[in-house]
Amino acid sequence: MEETVEELQALRHRASELLLMEEWKASINLYDQFISMCRSRVSTATTHPDPDSDEVAKTKRSLCLAFCNRAEAQFRLGEYSHALDDCERGLELESAHFKTLLCKGKILLHLHRYSRALDCFNHALELHRCTGNSGPLSEFMDRSRKLEVQSRTGNFDLTEWVLSGFQGKTPELAEYIGPVQIKESENGGRGLFATKNVEAGTLLLVTEALGVGRAILPETGDDSIGSAHLAMWKDFVEKILDASAKCKRTLGLIYALSTGEDDRDLEVPEMNLFRPDAEDLFFRDEKPHTGRILKILDVNSLIEHSVSANVLGKNSEYRGVGLWVLPSFINHACNPNARRLHVGDHVLVHTSRDVKAGEEISFAYFDVLLPLKKRRGTAETQWGFCCNCRRCRFEEGIFRNEEMNEIGERFESGSDMGEVTVRLEELMKKRMMKGTEKGYLRASFWAAFSGVIASERLMRRVGRRIPGVEAVVENVAEATGADDRLLKLFMDGGSKKNNGRIETEGALSKLAKGVFGKVMKKQAMRTLCLNV
């Protein structure tokens, strides 16, 4: 029995009411019914003697609007593929439907497909010129243009936000892939590599998390910290499982990551896979497997507050864990050359020292301003691998030397750091070590150097027999990358000499760029430096 026009109208009315009430699922259910009824009316009418009658045209218009509204509800539920399909169906019925073009553009913008979003908005703008109905179009167009330029050029600027003390909305950031590519790494698995020579602070990539879990951790009570952590992880895992069930692209990207089980013979994915414009054809229709996804999260999730990262705009009690796909290809090295800035759900990865074309990009997964033995212990117990980076190989050889071992033991016992630093400097001189090698060892004995430099008494005793603070910091940063602690020591030492005036030129500027990246102008960098 065919339903009456009144019944159809009532159904449409109720569906759109639910949409306004943001009852997305309920609204989708009613639109499902409405769409199937309209479709059968249209197909009956096409066999009718007058398929172009007013009645059929009216039903098609209603159908187009229904597809558009269902797309909006699906978009709000994160079902992006379905939402885009509905926009397409709507536009097949009426290619110049302003609301559907706007909705499609909005979804594409959310999926970081800036140029395609702009095409939709431009088409909608032409219609607006005829109808005068622009709505939020100009704002969407401005955002798409800005993000398209950022994504193409890598020109990001956080100056205003930093100088405002992180007030207002977190800046909107585009997806960006800079001079990097994935290749096989010496570690056995895959890694990210620089495709050209770049200076410290160069932006390598910007990407939004597939999911983030956050919690404000209470200041006291271990139990409560434990339960807040657990809640944060649970929230994170649920978001990732939900996103991978709803979108084949998300699942495909997650499945490109290592489960940590066998790093040999892992496929090296094409860089195009990670560009937001990657065609959906790249991604197979697969069912998400919870066990596999959990293993991937275990190996690849990043904690926002970590040694190789700075989190902007959140107080220090805030904690976050997330999955950012391309950064997940970055291996650990004890002479790392990259750091992260976390801004909202985005991560910006930049070089923390100068990097040569072909060099592997690396993070410090854990504190590397420690001696070899301690680093080995952490890599094995917390990460389950044995690091074989250039610094580890060098230090393994050098610690076979008896004198070196003795210095190491003295350092570990915590006695007389002044003597440790002097003996190390003498040994490095005697063995005519190169700059980078000295940097590796000074990084290993960092606690001794920083302790001596910070102590007026020790500096009076041994200060003339070790290099000055700037020389030590610069050398360690060149060998193992810039780090907040290096920056702080440089600032404290430097500002004492400069009567508190902070120079942002030369060595300090390079160090600051290595820590925060070249994504802000001098004044903002200075503000951040004062707070390290």
Ligand X SMILES: C[S@@+](CC[C@H](N)C(=O)[O-])C[C@H]1O[C@@H](n2cnc3c(N)ncnc32)[C@H](O)[C@@H]1O
Smallest separation (angstroms) from ligand X to the CB of 183: 10
Cβ 507 vs Cβ 470: under 8 Å: yes
What's the rounded Cα separation, in Å, for the pair 19 and 82? 17
Smallest separation (angstroms) from ligand X to the CB of 335: 10
**Sites of contact with ligand X (CB under 6 A):** 185, 187, 189-191, 257-258, 260, 263, 266, 299-300, 328-329, 331-333, 383, 385, 387-389
What is the Cα 510 distance to its own chain's centre?
A: 23
β-strand partners of 349: 205, 340
What's the rounded Cα separation, in Å, for the pair 155 and 65? 39
Which is nearer to ligand X, 187 or 509 (by Cβ)? 187
Quote the tokens at residue 300. 């690849």
DSSP state, 170?
P
Which is nearer to ligand X, 255 or 516 (by Cβ)? 255
Smallest separation (angstroms) from ligand X to the CB of 302: 8
**Cβ-closest position to ligand X:** 189
Residue with tokens 């190491």: 408
Smallest separation (angstroms) from ligand X to the CB of 514: 20
Quote the tokens at residue 437. 């090698």
Which is nearer to ligand X, 365 or 490 (by Cβ)? 365
Q: Where are the beta strands (DSSP E) in 235-279?
A: none
Which is nearer to ligand X, 190 or 510 (by Cβ)? 190
Q: How many CB atoms lie within 10 A of CB 29?
A: 15
Dihedral sign of CA atoms 280, 281, 282, 287 in order:
positive
Which is nearer to ligand X, 225 or 266 (by Cβ)? 266
Cβ 387 vs Cβ 375: under 8 Å: yes
Which is nearer to ligand X, 156 or 329 (by Cβ)? 329
Cβ 331 vs Cβ 189: under 8 Å: yes
Which is nearer to ligand X, 274 or 329 (by Cβ)? 329
Residue with tokens 């089980």: 261
Which is nearer to ligand X, 191 or 517 (by Cβ)? 191
190 phi, psi to nearest 5 deg: -105, 165
Smallest separation (angstroms) from ligand X to the CB of 371: 17
Burial degree of 188 (CB within 10 A; 0-12, 13-18, 19+) = middle
Which is nearer to ligand X, 71 or 389 (by Cβ)? 389
Smallest separation (angstroms) from ligand X to the CB of 218: 30
What's the rounded Cα separation, in Å, for the pair 46 and 261? 58
Smallest separation (angstroms) from ligand X to the CB of 256: 8
Smallest separation (angstroms) from ligand X to the CB of 400: 21
Which is nearer to ligand X, 87 or 325 (by Cβ)? 325
Smallest separation (angstroms) from ligand X to the CB of 299: 5
Smallest separation (angstroms) from ligand X to the CB of 331: 3
How would you label 52-90 residue by residue, b for 16+ Cβ within 10 Å and e otherwise? eeeebeebbebbbbbbbbbbbbbbeebbbbbbbebbebb
The maximal CA–CA distance of the chain, rounded, in angstroms, is 105
CA-wise closest residue to 29 among 77, 101, 64, 61: 77
Which is nearer to ligand X, 114 or 255 (by Cβ)? 255
What is the H or E stretch that residue 457 is in? helix 456-462
DSSP 3-state of 211: strand
Taking the chain, what is the end-to-end CA distance rounded to the nearest angstrom?
Answer: 73
Compute and round to an integer the Cα radius of gyration of the chain. 29
Smallest separation (angstroms) from ligand X to the CB of 377: 14
